[in-house]
Amino acid sequence: MKRIIVAFVLVCALLTWAPITSGTELEIITTHDLLKAFIDNPDAANKQYLGKIVHVKGIVISKGMSRYMTPNVVLSDREGGAEQAICVLPRLDVGKLSDFTPGQCVTMSGKVYRMTESRIVIKECKAIE
């Protein structure tokens, strides 16, 4: 019985460690490049990004609560530019909105939820360093 428990723990440890060391780092893409990918080829962009986790880099142009009462941070490729990505944070992270200021350069990680020619909606976002 002890051998089974030890084997189980060892297998779990290996399964946890393998993705960390397998080079699965996500590439950081700018808000401009992500939106341009969709505008240039919507089908290819949907296939590559829709429903997938991305790391997107941009400049904060606004922050606040949506009409659905979810905290969000709006990103662009330049300060005062047009909105290119809406990063929706989990509802419980509403207090983290104070971590963002307009003009700040941030990299967010989240799942691409919707892509249109005017903006990208990314949900379950969190700021990464």
Instruction: Find where tokens 């905290």 sit.
Output: 71
Position 8 pLDDT exceeds 50: yes
Looking at domain 25-128, which of 2.130.10.10, 3.30.70.3040, 2.40.50.140, 1.25.40.20 is its CATH number? 2.40.50.140
CB 92 within 8 A of CB 119: no
Position 19 pLDDT exceeds 60: no
- For the chain, what are the domain ranges? 25-128
What are the pLDDT digits (tens) for 82-126? Answer: 999 999 999 998 888 888 999 999 999 999 999 999 999 999 999
Integer Cα distance of 67 and 25 in angstroms? 34
Altogether, the residues listed in the chain come to a count of: 129
